[in-house]
A and B are shown apart, each in its own frame.
Chain A
Amino acid sequence: METNEINAGIKAAQINNALGFFILVFGCIVLFAMIYTETFIEHMTDMIAGLLLISIGGGMIWKARNTIKKLKAK
């Protein structure tokens, strides 16, 4: 792998890491908002939406960190 490709890969992973963190934080806020809901269906909607955001954000962070680790080792 060329240095340019490695740098581009690290750049992409750093971007994904930042995006993942942002989405994860919002997932936590939506999950927290569950305490303000009144009905069961509202409760479940906030929970599913929050967990979805947390898994997307968490997944992006996990993938990005793995990529950075791999590329830096090269």
Chain B
Amino acid sequence: MLAGIDYFIVIAYIIGMLLLGLYFKKFVNSSEDYFLGGKSLPFWAIGMSIVVSDIGALDFVGVSGQAYRYGISVGNFDWVGSVPAMLLAAFIFIPYFWRGGMYTIPEYLGRRYNQKVRTIASVTWILFFALDLGVLFWASAVLLNVLMGWPIWISIVSTAGVVGLYTYFGGITAVIMTDVVQFVIMFIGGFALVFLSLYEVGGWDNMVEKIATMGPEYRNHFDIIQPQNTKSPFPWTGILFGLTFVMANAYMIGNQSIVQRCLTAKNEWHAKASMIFGSALKMFIPILVLFPGLMAVVVHPGLADGDQALPLMIKSILPPGLVGLMFAAFFAGLMSSVDSLLNSTATLFTKDIYEPFIKKGADDKHYLKVGQITTLVLLVIGVATSPISSDFPGIYVAIQTFMSYFQGPIFSILLLGIFWKRSTEWGGLSALVIGIGFAVYLNVFKEQFFTIEDPFLYISWWSFLLGVIINISVSSLTKKHTAEQLQGLVFSSKILSKNKNL
């Protein structure tokens, strides 16, 4: 448990976040303010927010733990698994979403294919986000319980109260701006941790030498590319095909909570620049997250659970003050994941379900209210379902697996939707439905198809590939769209220019 100054810092951080978030209430007067921050935010804030929401507290601990167990190959997730996809998103995809004045990714799919594709994609994301909420509330409560000694229920309710209040009132502006603070604190605390850890292990060369003598299981710890028959979940084939080609692109281009941030930019230049700036910042993440995990191999050898590596390093290496600040950043990471889910789910529900199916053509204030009420309802669902997470310890992994079911198929229809004019509404719909079904099938019978324990990278690759094949086959047999229907929705070299007439 934390004590003294560190305890005070965590409390001050939570209260400060609440006050800061509530301050942004004065900037919310319409649904565009609530869902897209009034399209007025600068690239640097959005770029920082993308990085922070991508690397939440659970990932922070998890990636360090994986670096402890498997070495630097886990860094692929932030290098080849993020940077190329973010550049592709910046130059090709974001301009389409931006110029089309869209709020959600399913909205693009609806315009490009049909309403059914939009609804299926939107409902899938809403289900995923709603399930994830309970898990994140539980994780926040456990963290507060361990650090501060608060009972679980008080921890859940206080997390929900703080995050709920500022997301309800401040919308996405509060979400992004609280992320900026977290980013600054995470980077300063993270670099302090790396510097002091290096000092503790006697420098980089000394650490490499020590790890090399620790046994055969550490032989590949400094190989960024792992052989195809590795026991780790990161063989080079999975990294190249599953991660670089599919999951990274699907996450950076097809994930509502990421893309929605870019759409809050003050103009198209800022929208693109936010992704490019985010990709530059992303390259530092492995240094902050992975290195402490590696150094823990020397400082705390033989840990049964690698996920303990980072918290142990923070407690044993950082001085008073920075310990509290880093744990506050952890907590803020969880809050950031929760507020992103709340706001993105409210946007998806209001724009893709409520507006087209429940009440068309209402005034803007009405949709703003619906977005806010949806946020409250989601909050209640998240709090009510959070204890379920404690009954199923593997639920976080299960939810991440669920994400790999639909990332591949959704990316396949997004990719062909933009780059292949011949792709039709039936092609898109069948690729989405069959692709998701195939991913579920592969996961259920994974022992028969794969040799590694957790083949989520392979599953996303094969479901993506099947999605592409189905889309091409069905589209070739069905009626194609007219040129007018495709206006502004398919690739044109004009997207690379400043020409607004696509």
Q: Do A and B come from one complex?
A: yes
Chain A interface (Cβ < 8 Å from any Cβ of B): 8, 11-12, 15, 18-19, 22-23, 25-26, 29-30, 32-34, 36-39, 41-43, 45-46, 48-50, 52-53, 56
B180 CB within 8 Å of chain A: yes
Complex CA–CA separation, A42 to B319 (angstroms): 5
Are B320 and A26 in contact (CB-based, < 8 A)?
A: no
Query: Known contacts being A22-B181, A33-B319, A36-B4, is A15 close to B196, with CB within 8 Å?
Result: no
Looking at chain B's contact residues, the main secondary structure is helix
B20 CB within 8 Å of chain A: yes
Residues of B within 8 A of A39 (CB): 319
Residues of A within 8 A of B184 (CB): 23, 53, 56
Are A19 and B180 in contact (CB-based, < 8 A)?
A: yes
Complex CA–CA separation, A38 to B318 (angstroms): 11
Complex CA–CA separation, A64 to B151 (angstroms): 41
Q: Which residue of chain A has its CB nearest to the CB of B176?
A: A15
Least Cβ distance of B42 to chain A in Å? Answer: 6
Residues of A within 8 A of B55 (CB): none
Residues of A within 8 A of B199 (CB): 41
Least Cβ distance of B261 to chain A in Å? Answer: 15
Complex CA–CA separation, A12 to B45 (angstroms): 11
Give a binary string over B2-29; 1 marks a CB under 8 Å from any A CB, 0 the rest: 0011001100110010001001100100
Residues of B within 8 A of A33 (CB): 5, 9, 319-322, 324
Q: A12-B41, A29-B12, A49-B188 are in contact. List 14 more A-B contacts (CB 8 A).
A: A8-B40, A15-B177, A18-B20, A19-B20, A19-B180, A22-B16, A25-B16, A26-B16, A29-B5, A30-B322, A33-B320, A43-B319, A45-B196, A52-B188
Complex CA–CA separation, A30 to B187 (angstroms): 15
Q: Which residue of chain B has its CB nearest to the CB of A56?
A: B184
**Best-buried of B9, B12, B40, B42 by chain A (most CB within 10 Å):** B40
Query: Known contacts being A11-B40, A18-B20, is A45 close to B319, with CB within 8 Å?
Result: yes
A8 in complex: contacting residue of B189, B266, B320, CB < 8 Å: B266
Complex CA–CA separation, A27 to B265 (angstroms): 29
A29 in complex: contacting residue of B9, B24, B38, B40, CB < 8 Å: B9
B61 CB within 8 Å of chain A: no
Residues of B within 8 A of A37 (CB): 319-321
B325 CB within 8 Å of chain A: yes
Are B40 and A12 in contact (CB-based, < 8 A)?
A: yes
Complex CA–CA separation, A18 to B20 (angstroms): 7
Q: Which residue of chain B has its CB nearest to the CB of A52?
A: B188
Query: Known contacts being A12-B40, A18-B20, A19-B20, is A41 close to B266, with CB within 8 Å?
Result: no
Listed A/B pairs (18) with beta-carbon separation below 8 Å = A8-B266, A11-B38, A11-B40, A12-B40, A19-B177, A23-B184, A25-B16, A26-B9, A26-B16, A32-B5, A32-B321, A33-B320, A34-B321, A36-B321, A42-B319, A45-B318, A46-B320, A49-B188
A30 in complex: contacting residue of B27, B42, B181, B321, CB < 8 Å: B321
Query: Known contacts being A8-B40, A11-B27, A37-B319, is A19 close to B196, with CB within 8 Å?
Result: no
